[in-house]
Homo-oligomer: A and B are copies of this chain.
């Protein structure tokens, strides 16, 4: 069966976004630094329609993560900022512009119904009946491919706590954020993990785990 996968950058103090997230700083204070390592990569820049970038020890890690993903589940905050009311008006298309970088079916967890939104080759389906339903629909959309839980922390933590994640990769960045969204909040010792492999790369350590049932 297809796998449910998580990969996310974390500070040394366990935050996946900095404190005081806002419209101006969606990743919170200092949170952008979590992604310096990936933004520098040719593999990431190409996937995001940008030129340049380097190849280093992170390249195969990122290529592996991009491969075989058929659908993504994300929280409402990753789709777009909460500051515009439930949906503002229907013209509001989230953070990601006319050509979102997902290029696949995306399922957005929300409490507010909204019609499916298609932008280029990304479809956003808004799911109001919970994480299990979203996963069922994402699995169906993904077919033989895997489902990626794209964040933020709340969404990942809910799937981890429910025992629905198969694979977790942490990109541990040597910064201290001192606050912000915390991975594993509300996730207890029932979650059992097994280390798959560790990769050292410039400015980041990649730690991959299998989540046991």
Contact = CB atoms under 8 A, between A and B. Distances in A.
Interface residues of A, number: 31
A81 interface: no
A14 B15 CA distance: 10
A185 B194 CA distance: 26
Interface string A165-194: 000001010111110000110011101111
Given A174-B193, A178-B184, A205-B207, 20 more contacts: A12-B170, A13-B14, A13-B183, A13-B187, A14-B184, A172-B172, A174-B194, A175-B192, A175-B193, A176-B187, A176-B188, A176-B189, A177-B189, A178-B187, A178-B188, A195-B200, A195-B203, A195-B205, A198-B198, A198-B205
6 contacts: A13-B184, A174-B195, A176-B187, A176-B191, A198-B200, A205-B205
